[in-house]
A and B are shown apart, each in its own frame.
Chain A
């Protein structure tokens, strides 16, 4: 067995001069980014990981580090009981808003993808918010009540949800409804991504489906959605990241204010601990969506593979049957010969 394995291994090819030169050029081209990653990502990441365990005070002599272990985390619970609460609310809000944005964007994209006059005009309107959304502008509009759909009674919605769900969930649902327009505003880029992906779906697929009698509804579930699946994942991740860095998000302003607050407990170490909690939550949410939406192969590939496997199996069975048949025939022939030799009829 081991011999066979060795044989199957590819013979090691020595890297040629051309490959080496190409690799060198590749490293050269990516060099600026590598330096940047080391300077602005990896080193700060390690540093902030270190900061997390310390209480840091800034004096004219420089920074003074005081190791306090998980003290920062317990301090967060003592000093800012709002922070963990907000974190939970944030998780609920993201998990609610992302599907809404995705479904809404897909809906709009499908409508725009049909035969529609003035498509450019509608695209212009739906993409407009991308230019505008920035923290302060949104805050202004929200504070003036321009972000609410006027005839929507948010209070009663929250009250209704409060009966069935914990308060944090009801609160996030209420916040989402009261800022419905803002939630929809975040879907500009997603609409364009879906639209451009929809336009690249092979029309022959739809034609074939129509000839086989598929309705529009069936076409959507069996063709559009499976082909859109990678784009849905892309958009989901984009939306999560966008919502996390958005200045409407109270968590990041809390981190900022903790960083520059003068009290003894707070400061860089405390803010780092907050930031790490936040980052872990975001990574988990992204991971969740990736698990839910990402499959390595799309449905068609998987089905085709399954079918091929089945075919192979059948072929194997067929061969086995043929072989068995041959064996059986031989046996019969042998036996018959034996019987002819031994039946003792005395024919010969």
Chain B
């Protein structure tokens, strides 16, 4: 614990320096060893309470986001001065060492937590910060936290701020922490072009098939909306390098094998998550599809995703059920 305390002092000092210098982001806090004990140490915001980013910190949104109990989310990307992200086709932007991704979660206007992904020389690390009651600071909660709150839909839940390991459960690929959200296919062409114009990206990636905007879900083919939802809400674990790789169920945007997408696929290690049903997806029959069953549950051991959902997502359920119902 000694080293943690020492780095806390170090970071406290840098935080003061950053505050004195205005709104500069503290690169040392991103790439240095240890974990900053407070969010302000990074200097990502000129006004954190308003989530007004500092210079060089760029807000972005995803075409179809992860649903987290209806939390209002604000996302930011930071690429250090003089460096550029590299285009990697339709997949994740290749963000250089020194970059950071920042995501804040609000309920009823109140900031609950801010998660940061920091790209260090040894790889990415993921850290959770919990906001205090007067919204003046967020402090590191390595072991996670629980917060009682009410969702926009009116559900009273015990909201779980993930611990550091849980961050990796979703952000892990073949044992390494990686970003999930900023894949070119899940970012708008306009945002990517603007990011390039700002000098933060080497080229605008070519995207043959873009994930639709979630708000447009009623206007686009239901399969596209559903696959976008699965990609954002399930595929971080359900991919060949993810935490659920052993299930053989792959729910990524790119997957084309119907069996890997669950059609006619029997459960393997689902336990009571099977709900006495035979297949993950039964075309035309959402009521007999395990995928829909697990989305409709709030019970530990049954509900999916395993992390980050304590209430139901009716809009997501409707899209997935509609997709299965329309299958032949």
Q: Do A and B come from one complex?
A: no
Contacts from A to B (Cβ < 8 Å): none
Contacts from B to A (Cβ < 8 Å): none
